């Protein structure tokens, strides 16, 4: 019986590795989930089969050919899948490059590794045939054009652009749904920076705004160019002060606040995901060992559903 696999990319970094096995060995698995080791000597993508009951089973580890930093990146989005889920893109924060894998039934195969001009990439985003990184080492973004026939990356001219300043603590970069703008969260400066893209994919600074919440970290787009940001509130000791803020991205790259701070009731809300229909959001509240859930209405307003959803 033929089984269809859904591929999901996670943004966390793990320190352990697992024995390689073919993804098709377990026909009960519903998804393959990937995460990045960020190993300082040999960076790897780690794969897990996810079963219908939510249990994970190691499904291999695949060398990127680059290196990580061996430490936490303070990021969301270290991996990204192409729109057709045939390619997986992985950052190499230690060697300042990107690895492109082709997703096969029996695992991942490296098809390209491309150097960038920035320093210490921490997050990557893909939209159609464009790929952009944000770099925490030199507070910048950098972009590539992607050829899906060959799986190759080519640097985009004038794509190496600076963020709001120095020491920004960049956490995540993401395209909007239309692929004509980029949003970046800056933890240390409490800023949200945007760029608009021309037809050639070259960026122009759109806006630099003060974050509505303290320590903006992970975020996700919902519907109607609304995006939702988890705010870590400075430190793991900030019990109960983690929040979610919602924004609208305008056509010119400017940002409008919808909700400033909706409290999770937990500490250090670092990562955020929305459901495909845009009606729910979830935050991972690391020191609280908690996941919080939120309802999102059509206008982008956020309401706490459960402080401790899991």
Question: Does 241 lie in the same domain as 151?
Answer: no
Q: Which domain holds residue 74?
A: 1-177
What CATH number corresponds to the domain at position 242? Answer: 2.120.10.30
Q: What is the pLDDT of residue 52?
A: 83
Count of other CB atoms within 10 angstroms of residue 200: 10
Q: Radius of gyration of the chain from Cα atoms?
A: 18
Residue 29's pLDDT band (cuts 50, 70, 90) = low
What pTM was computed for the model? 0.89
Nearest Cα neighbor of 246 from 236, 232, 235, 261 is: 261
Does residue 171 share a domain with residue 85? yes
Q: Which helix (H) or strand (E) holds 139?
A: none
Query: Tell me: the pLDDT tens digits for 32-52?
Result: 899 999 999 999 999 999 888
Mean pLDDT on 85-96: 96
User: Can you give the CATH number for the domain in which 138 is found?
Assistant: 2.130.10.10
- The answer to the question of residue 302 being in a domain is yes
| pLDDT level of residue 203 (50, 70, 90 thresholds) | very high
Which of 54-58, 94-98, 120-124, 168-172 is the least confident region? 54-58
The number of domains in the chain is 2
Q: Among residues of the chain, what percentage have pLDDT more than 70? A: 89
Q: How far is CA 308 from CA 11, 77, 263, 284, in A?
A: 22, 24, 12, 10
- The partner residues of 135 in beta bridges, in order of sequence, read 121, 140
Residue 123 and residue 223 share a domain: no
- In this structure, is residue 204 part of a structural domain? no
Q: How deeply is 27 buried, as exposed, middle or buried, from its count of CB atoms within 10 A (0-12, 13-18, 19+)?
A: exposed
């Amino acid at each position: 019986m033929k089984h269809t696999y859904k591929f999901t990319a996670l943004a966390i970094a793990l320190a352990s590795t697992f024995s390689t096995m073919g993804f098709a060995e377990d026909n009960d698995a519903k998804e393959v989930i990937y995460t990045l080791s960020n190993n300082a000597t040999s960076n790897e993508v780690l794969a897990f089969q996810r079963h219908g009951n939510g249990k994970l089973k190691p499904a291999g580890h695949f060398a990127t050919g680059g290196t990580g930093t061996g430490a936490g990146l303070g990021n969301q989005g270290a991996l990204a899948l192409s729109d057709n889920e045939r390619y997986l893109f992985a950052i190499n924060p230690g060697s300042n490059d990107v690895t492109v894998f082709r997703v096969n039934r029996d695992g991942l195969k490296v098809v390209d590794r491309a150097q960038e001009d920035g320093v210490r990439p921490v997050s990557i985003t893909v939209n159609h045939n464009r790929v952009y990184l944000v770099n925490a080492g030199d507070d910048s973004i950098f972009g590539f054009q992607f050829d899906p026939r060959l799986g190759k990356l080519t640097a985009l001219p004038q794509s190496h652009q600076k963020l709001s300043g120095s020491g920004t603590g960049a956490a995540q970069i993401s395209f909007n749904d239309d692929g004509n703008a980029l949003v970046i969260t800056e933890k240390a400066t409490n800023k949200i920076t945007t760029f608009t893209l021309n037809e050639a994919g070259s960026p122009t600074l759109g806006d630099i705004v003060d974050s509505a919440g303290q320590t903006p970290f992970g975020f996700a787009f919902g519907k109607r160019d609304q995006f939702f940001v988890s705010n870590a509130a400075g430190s793991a000791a900030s019990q109960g002060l983690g929040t979610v803020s919602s924004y609208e991205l305008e056509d010119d790259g400017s940002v409008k606040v919808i909700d400033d701070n909706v409290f999770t009731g937990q500490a250090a809300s670092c990562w955020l995901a929305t459901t495909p229909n845009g009606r729910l959001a979830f935050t991972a509240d690391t020191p609280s060992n908690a996941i919080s859930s939120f309802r999102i209405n059509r206008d982008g307003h956020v309401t706490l559903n459960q402080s401790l959803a899991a």
